[in-house]
Structure 1
Amino acid sequence: MCGKPAQHATRPFCSQRCADIDLGRWFTGQYRVPGPPVDEENIQKNERNDER
């Protein structure tokens, strides 16, 4: 995160603060793991099911 050396307890982060910042970025969607392409037909089917 900040470029400081990592402490053993918070590895691979230099501090708990940097670890929390990273976790927050995952929670808010700033980091994403790509998945397979989504089929447009399945999206529409799921949207119709959600309306019920």
Structure 2
Amino acid sequence: MKIVRCPGCCGDSVYAPINPYRPFCSERCKNMDLGAWASESFRVPAEAPPEDGNFGDPKLQ
């Protein structure tokens, strides 16, 4: 069995089909992570849109 670090509590977690919460060590850690995403504590960085609204197409200028 492979042992990984739980992303919730940094404890040991079994990364195998016998652990239904993998990569988390427990249901509690899994739910805390889900709650953080749901409350928007985590965000995926997005690139700013390009400044040129015409995207360089001379027909649109």
The normalised TM-score by structure 1 is: 0.62
By percentage of residues, which structure has more helix? 1
Q: Which residues of structure 1 form unaligned runs of 5+?
A: 40-52
Which residue identity is paired with 2:47? Answer: P
Deviation at 1:36, TM superposition (A): 1.8
- Cα offset, 1:23, TM superposition: 0.4
Count of aligned residue pairs for this structure pair: 39
- Tell me which structure has the larger Cα radius of gyration: 2
Secondary structure of the residue aligned to 1:6 is strand
1:6 aligns with 2:18: no
Percent identity reads 38
Per-residue Cα deviation, 1:1-24 (whole angstroms, up to 9, x for no partner): 112222421111010100000000
* Pair 1:25-2:32 in alignment: no
The secondary structure found in structure 2 opposite 1:9 is: coil
Q: For 1:33-52, list aligned pairs within 5 A.
A: 33-38=44-49
Report the structure, 1 or 2, having the larger strand content.
2
